[in-house]
Every structure is written in structure tokens, then in C-alpha cells.
Amino acid sequence: MDKLKDRRCKWCGIVYSYTESWQKNVRKISISLQVFLRDKQRRLIRSASRPRTAVATMPSWRIYLTLALAVGTAAAARLKVSGKDLTYNGQKVFLNGCNIAWHNYGYDFGNGGYDGTLEQWLREIGGSGGNSIRVWVHVEGYSTPRWDSNGYVTQCDQSGTFEADVKKLLDAAQAADVLVVLVLWNGAYLTNQAAVNLIWDDAKLDAYINNCLNSLVTQVKGHPALGAFEVVNEPEGSILVSSDSEPCYDTTTIGQSGAGWTGLYIPMERYRKDYFSSRDHTVSFLTPRFAVPPPGQFAQSDAFSNTHNHYTDECLNKAAGGSNAHLDFFQIHAYDWGDPGAQRAFTVDADAYGLGKPVVLGEYASVCGAGTSLPDLYSYAYEHGYSGGWSWHYVATGECSDTRQQQQEALKTLKDRSDHGLVSFPVG
């Protein structure tokens, strides 16, 4: 199982984020792993069960939808976007951290599964100079949320402890001066049909929003340690590769690089108009501000001949039916396998993508880094215009993961630096 789970991280991904002012009459949101605005919110799911390709000399990267949720009251410190930079409490910051991902895949929160291991790991990361972590929540939906016999969500978990468990993690993170990105779903490897049905069935999506998501967001909104929500990890794995007269929905370009490997065949338009938009609305209702990055497997940029940006402001507003939908920042996952290309994250500056917004390198490892050491990967991200970097992953299993000790030592590389963004800063 570890191999299957870790295949998801092999396809690099860029995460985009967008903020939107929502009015009180906007519809509720649905969340699934990456968010996009509209009457409902939508997000992309990406899965990585695709077989590994020949190792290239440069890291490959993919797109991810992450909903970076800058929450809190007007007076509270929170993660924000300023041009091409991320800021916290008014200062430019660099997110120096790790993917914890999970301790017990899909069973870390709710139903008695929360045992404090994640808290211990985040303290180790914070003690090594890390200031942020990326943690998976529902994953494939086998433990949470709670489904009835017809596939409708009735609550977050059977025991009623899910939301409190997430809050415990955030409290521990604040004490350790660490920001948390919560990844709701895993599109890189999605085998639970109940979770897939959230994308296809509006009523089931609404049930998830009303009976779980709203409750979660209400209880964690305003928490200083909540950096972002990522609706779905690597959504491009589950899309339908097809041509479309509307460029925003045409996926043939990314299909040539391997998108759609899970065989779920979900049209891009369906993701955007239904799944992603609904979830975004819910979060925006309950928080003063939120940033939404789409995590996925492919470069969402029009700067290269073999990539296409499906998440421009124009595309988002077409799906949202409004004029203020936009991404706040992007996230890229970078490994040394896959199709070679000029867009490889560790061979270009962040500005090469031409996105005009912050770009975070959301997954990478030296063992799949074309012979580059982990400290050098962190330093490259810091010195070449990226707004953060998270190694894969602290549970330290699978083919593309460095050991915990290696990750701890690499985090120390940037611990005391501030020349390209503050790394050490108080959370709260």
C-alpha cells in the first residue's frame, strides 16, 4: 500500500490560490481538494497511480489546487498574499517546512484516531527551523466524513471528535510557531466511490458542505496557525482528457503529459462549475478572507509550449459566473521523473512561469531530485523567487521520501535567513 500511496506524490503539481469577496447571497461551498469560485465552489482532484517513467535530469512538476485559507479577524495575524509574495503579520515570509501528509493514512482525525503523533512531528519540524506543514485530512473518505447508506454525508465522523482533533493540531502548531495547510482530499489516488460522487452529485456535495465542512471551518476560522485549506491533492489525475471549444476546459495539452491516469474521467467543466465552486463559497462565507491554490500534477502556465493555465482569472470567472474570482498563489510538486521540460521547478526562477503571484514548491525530495541534496533544494527555492518549500514527506515511506533526520537537517539550512523572506516568525 505504501507504494501505491506514494505514487501520488511523484507527479509534480502547482498549487494556485485565489481570493474572492463573497456577498451574503452567494451559495454555499463544497470542498474537495482544490478550490475554484462560482455559485458553488469547485476544486480539482489529482491522483497518482500512474507508473513511474524514466528519470530525467531535471525535476518534473505538476499542478495542485490548494485553498490557502488566510483566516482570522481583522486584528489577527494570518497568512496573506502581497503581489508575488506571501506575508504573515505584514512581513514577507518563506514557508520553510515539510509534508507530514499523514501518520495513519486517512485515519488521523476523528473516530478515535488522533493520538498526538502529528503534534510530536510538528514540534520536531518547528524545532528544526520549519515554520509550516502540509497535512492530509479526509484523504479518500474511508474514515471521515461519515456517510449514510445512500452516500450522503451526515456529519464529519461517528464519534463527534473530528473538528476538535483538527483544532488540537492547530493549537499545537501555534505553540510551535508552525503554520498548517490542511489538505482535505487526495485526488492522486481516489478509490472511494462515495468521495468521487461528491463531484458528480450536487445534493451529495451540499450534504458534505452542510453537515461537515461548515462545522469544520466554523470551528477553526480565525486560528492563527491555519495557513490554508487545500481542497484536493493533485486533481489532474482524475480529469477526462478531451478537446473543447472553450480553452478553459480543453485538457488535451496536459493529457499528452499523463493527466487522467486514475481513469475517473471527470470533465474539467464539471470540476469547476460544481465541485470546486461550491466548496469555495462555504469557506468564504465563514472566513474573512481566503486564498485558494489548485494543487495538481501539471504546470498551470501559458509560458511554455507543453503547458496550459486552466486557472486564469478569466477561466475562473467563467466558471464562477462572476468578475472577482482569481487565484492568490500557485503550488508546484517537483520530482526528477516524468517528461523533461523547460518548466522544471528547480531549473528556473518562479518568475519564469509568468504567473505574477506567489509560487510554493509543495513536494520534493533529494532521493528523487536528480542528485541534488535536500539542503540545496531548499536553498534553491529560497533564492530563486519561490515563496515556500515542503519536502516529501515526514512519515518517510515510499520511493521518493528522505528520512526524517535528513529533513530536519535540511530545514536548518534556512532557519536564520531573512534576505529573501522571513523564515523564523511567531505564529499568533
pTM of the model: 0.80
Q: Look up the CATH number of the domain holding residue 143.
A: 3.20.20.80
Specify whether 234 is catalytic: yes
For residue 209, is it within any domain? yes
Active-site entry in 20, 163, 230, 234: 234
pLDDT at 59 over 80: no
User: Which pLDDT does position 302 carry in this prediction?
Assistant: 58
For residue 428, is it within any domain? no
In terms of Cα–Cα distance, which of 346, 334, 427 is closest to 132?
A: 427
For residue 6, is it within any domain? no
For residue 81, CA distances in Å to 8, 48, 78, 89, 341 come to 28, 29, 10, 11, 29
**Structural domain harbouring 206:** 12-414
pLDDT at 269 over 70: yes
Active-site entry in 124, 236, 269, 363: 363
In terms of Cα–Cα distance, which of 304, 302, 324, 303 is closest to 314?
A: 324
- Pairwise pLDDT comparison (152 vs 29), residue with the higher score: 152
- Over residues 272-317, the pLDDT tens digits come to 655 455 555 444 444 333 344 444 444 555 555 556 677 777 777 7
For residue 25, is it within any domain? yes
Q: Three-state SS for 146? A: strand
For residue 118, CA distances in Å to 97, 125, 173, 306 come to 14, 10, 10, 39
pLDDT at 255 over 50: yes
In terms of Cα–Cα distance, which of 301, 372, 288, 374 is closest to 332?
A: 301
Burial of 250 (0-12, 13-18, 19+ CB in 10 A): middle
For residue 7, is it within any domain? no
For residue 317, is it within any domain? yes
Specify whether 163 is catalytic: no
In terms of Cα–Cα distance, which of 275, 292, 178, 162 is closest to 220?
A: 162
The tally of domains found in the chain comes to: 1
For residue 240, is it within any domain? yes
For residue 17, is it within any domain? yes
- Over residues 178-200, the pLDDT tens digits come to 999 999 998 888 999 999 999 88
- Over residues 335-372, the pLDDT tens digits come to 887 645 545 789 889 998 888 889 999 999 999 998 99
Is 298:254 a contact under the CB 8 Å cutoff? yes
- Over residues 354-364, the pLDDT tens digits come to 888 899 999 99
* Percent of the chain scoring above 70 in pLDDT: 70
**DSSP designation for 213:** I
